[in-house]
Amino acid sequence: MKILTGNDLKTGAVTWWDGAEWSLHVEQAVDVGDNADTILAREQAARRVNAAYAIEAVKDADGVRPAHIKDRIRALGPTVRPDLTLKPADPNAGEWVI
């Protein structure tokens, strides 16, 4: 599947296109098929996202997983600071990242 990611313009936070808006959670990312360029142009022009791009991902029973390690680390947070990730209370949250 192809999903979209970028950063929030004001905060810089990593966001994912969920079909209607930009979410902090990669689990909510949706397959954009062939519409990536259209959505990216529209959303960036409206300043709802910054520096956005399309990536390959897979979806299985555990959720949406970006294909490349760089985007998996973006999805959760730095592997060396679990306290600063999106799920600091879950010790297993990062198992799928590396």
Partner 1 sequence: MYKYDTYDQAMVDARVEEFRDQVRRRLEGHITEDQFKPLRLMNGLYLQLHAYMLRVAVPYGTLNSAQMRMLGDIADKYDRGYGHFTTRQNIQYNWIKLEDAPDILADLATVEMHAIQTSGNCIRNTTSDQYAGAAADEVIDPRPYAELIRQWSTFHPEFTYLPRKFKMAVIASDIDRAAMRLHDIGIQIVRNEGGQIGAAFYVGGGMGRTPMIAPCINPFVPIDQMITYSEACLRVYNRYGRRDNKYKARIKILVHELGKEEYTRQVEAEFAHLLTQNIEPPLAELARIQAMFADPPFEVGIADEVDRSDPDFALWVDTNCLAHKQPGYIAATISLKPVGGIPGDATGEQIRLMGDLARQFSFDELRVTHAQNIVLPHVRKADLYALWQQLDAAGLGTANLDLVGDIIACPGLDYCSLANARSIPVAQKISQRLARSEQAIGELKLKISGCINACGHHHAGHIGILGVDKKGVENYQLLLGGCEGADTSLGQITGPGFSEDGIVDAVEKATQVYLNNKQGTERFLDTYRRIGMAPFKEAIYE
Interface with partner 1 by CB under 8 A: which residues? 7, 9-14, 44, 47, 50-51, 67-70, 73-74, 77-81, 84, 98
**Closer to partner 1 at the Cβ: 19 or 69?**
69
Query: Shortest approach of partner 1 to residue 31 CB, angstroms?
Result: 20
Is 97 exposed, middle or buried (CB count within 10 Å of its CB: 0-12, 13-18, 19+)? middle
Query: Shortest approach of partner 1 to residue 93 CB, angstroms?
Result: 15
CA 32 – CA 10 distance, rounded (Å) = 24
**Closer to partner 1 at the Cβ: 42 or 68?**
68
Query: Shortest approach of partner 1 to residue 80 CB, angstroms?
Result: 5
CA 15 – CA 75 distance, rounded (Å) = 8
What phi and psi values does residue 28 have, to the nearest 5 degrees?
-95, 0
Query: Shortest approach of partner 1 to residue 5 CB, angstroms?
Result: 11
**Closer to partner 1 at the Cβ: 20 or 45?**
45
Is 46 exposed, middle or buried (CB count within 10 Å of its CB: 0-12, 13-18, 19+)? exposed
